[in-house]
Amino acid sequence: MVAASLAGVITLAVTATTAIPVSADSYSDSATLLNDMNLLRAHVGVASLALDNRLTSMAQGWVNQLAGQFMLAQNPSLAAQAPAGWVSLGENVGAGPTAQVLFNALAASPEHYANMVNSSFNSVGVAVAYSRGMLFVVEDFMQGPTSTAVLSAASAGTAGAVGGYRLATQRGDVLSFGASGPLGNGVPAVAGMAATPDGRGYWLATSVGAGYRVGVARF
């Protein structure tokens, strides 16, 4: 029997005078944080984290409370609320003016960075909320069985609603969140995904080295 453990649960506040724009979008900010995190993991040779909707739901409930009370704190019920079968857990909690500024601050903090590149974690839930011009984020990490193996996020840009994005799963499904345009389902063994700069297409790479283009994307 593998002993379960609760990894460091870290909070971070990034002070700044820049206010969150009125057009702030939770889809776009969550996608930025997830995508940048997986790019960081790839840079250090660690596998991407799967986006687990159970962890995201748990994170969303907690970040809503934090933003509502304008405070930072760890979730005291993290272990109890986590999906059954977890082996280890971790949590990053932070607040800052924008998703990019907040990601950079998290990556610069040794404790937060350790959670983000921990090779034991295989899934994550990312949720954001807004209060008084600040972006709050909760990132819940887990080592354990995943519900949906999602690899990475790709920005939809002008292809759909502001902040829309797509997610590719390992089994080849492409999920759309506020994004229009082609989905290109049916690609086997997806290992990576990247959007075109204008969001009108994207590329998929498979674990056997094949590449696919969907929409307005060129090789």
132-158: average pLDDT? 71
Does the structure show a pLDDT above 80 at 136? yes
Angle of helix 26-43 versus helix 99-108 axis, rounded to 10: 30
Place of tokens 């295989």: 122
78-86: average pLDDT? 92
Burial degree of 67 (CB within 10 A; 0-12, 13-18, 19+): buried
Facing residues of 142 across strands? 89, 123
Question: Which backbone phi and psi does 177 adopt, to 5 degrees?
Answer: -125, 95
Encoded tokens for 18: 């820049």
Radius of gyration over every alpha carbon of the chain, rounded to an integer in angstroms:
17
Does the structure show a pLDDT above 50 at 159? no
Determine the Cα–Cα distance for residues 123 and 113; give it in Å rounded to an integer.
16
pTM over 0.95: no
Q: For 38-47, how does the pLDDT look when each residue is reduced to its tens digit (9 = 90+)?
A: 899 989 999 8
Determine the Cα–Cα distance for residues 83 and 60; give it in Å rounded to an integer.
15
What percent of the chain lies above the pLDDT cut of 90?
39
Q: Say if residues 215 and 159 touch (Cβ distance below 8 Å).
A: yes
How much is the pLDDT for 189?
Answer: 64
DSSP letter, residue 157: G
How much is the pLDDT for 203?
Answer: 77
Place of tokens 């609603």: 161
Does the structure show a pLDDT above 60 at 18? no
Encoded tokens for 11: 């909070």
